[in-house]
Structure 1
Amino acid sequence: MLKYLAITLAVLPLPVVAQDLAVDEAAVQQCFDGATGIDPDCIGQAADACQTATPDGSTTVGISECLMAETKAWDGILNSQYSATREQYSSDGLPEKLQAAQRAWIAFRDADCGFAYDKFGGGSMRGIASASCQLNHTARRALELKQMREP
């Protein structure tokens, strides 16, 4: 039985997976550095450029991968901003409160993006909706953490 399953799986067409899709991390950093407020128009532009860079970028999988790649870049910025904010408030005894706030934000982001995914049922848009939600929440949180340190 396993032999026939292996043969069957070997001849089935595999889904096309987007490869070599990446975002310009310098563009994401530039978006962060130049942002005023927490909702600049440049959020998502690196993913948009990724999607048009190759034919794979315009597929459902490609769009999701480009969004996730930009999210990863923003996540790196978010982590550095969290560390800097935690360090700034370490003398005030607030690191534990910031940590609790960050954990609550993560729970909110996950629930909100889970909803964005689930509302599309079994449709192919659900992956894109969830990835877009993750990107927007992550970028905005990075910018919020930056603002927390400003006078």
Structure 2
Amino acid sequence: MKSGFKLRMTFAVVVVLLSQNVAAQEQESPHFLEDVRVIEECLSALQPFLTQPLTLANGHCENVVANGCQATSQYNDTPAIVRCITRELGAFERIMEHSLERAAKAVRNFGTYEEFGLQAERKLRRAQLAWLEYRDNHCELAGDSTSPGTIHSVRRVGCRSRMTADRVLYLRGLFLGYNMERY
């Protein structure tokens, strides 16, 4: 019972931190809600393809916000590129939070026993926490693996954005009822 409480508290802290990050992103960018809408529209068009491997389906929506941002930016330097990719990452993180809640609701309905559904939801939330840690560590390594220069920041935020986009598709597959065991 104590481990369940610790898990809920840990998850609550992560949700608060993510919410603060997203709230800060909303305040910083007047484009935030439009970015979310653009990505949601793109993802909705992909819904029939969610039974394909994630990378095949996701390639269509990747960089949809970042490319538009860069096309309208007066600057084409590394900080401008990082800002544009960070805008997209913020939108994908908001969509991921929403998708996680919908997936959690869906997995609560797995099986015929309420306890089975609650266990499935706890496992999903633990998996999400582990995935967030993996994503952040993996992308730090991806940034560090390049030769010295300003490309580190582009690679780190680009990696986080791509991985978050893939995770959104996985979570959407769960709440849409697709068999996601091969991912």
Q: CA deviation at 1:149?
A: 2.0
The equivalent of 2:121 in structure 1 is 95
2-structure distance, mates of 1:72, 1:102? 17
Count of equivalent residues: 132
- The two structures, once aligned, show a CA RMSD in angstroms of 2.0
Amino acid paired to 1:143: L
Is residue 21–residue 66 contact of structure 1 (8 Å, CA) maintained in 2? no
1-structure distance, mates of 2:79, 2:102? 35
The equivalent of 1:106 in structure 2 is 132
The equivalent of 1:66 in structure 2 is 84
**Percent of aligned pairs sharing the same letter:** 22
Please, which runs of 5 or more residues in structure 2 have no aligned partner?
A: 1-27, 109-113, 178-183
Q: Classify the secondary structure of the residue corresponding to 2:176.
A: coil
The equivalent of 2:39 in structure 1 is 28
Can you list the C-alpha shifts for 1:1-26, whole angstroms capped at 9, x where unaligned? xxxxxxxxxxxxxxxxxx97956412
The structure with the greater share of residues assigned to helix is 2
Is residue 21–residue 65 contact of structure 1 (8 Å, CA) maintained in 2? no
Q: CA deviation at 1:132?
A: 0.6
TM (norm. structure 1) is 0.79
Moved over 6 A (4+): none
Is residue 96–residue 164 contact of structure 2 (8 Å, CA) maintained in 1? yes
Q: Classify the secondary structure of the residue corresponding to 1:42.
A: coil
The equivalent of 2:165 in structure 1 is 139
TM (norm. structure 2) is 0.66
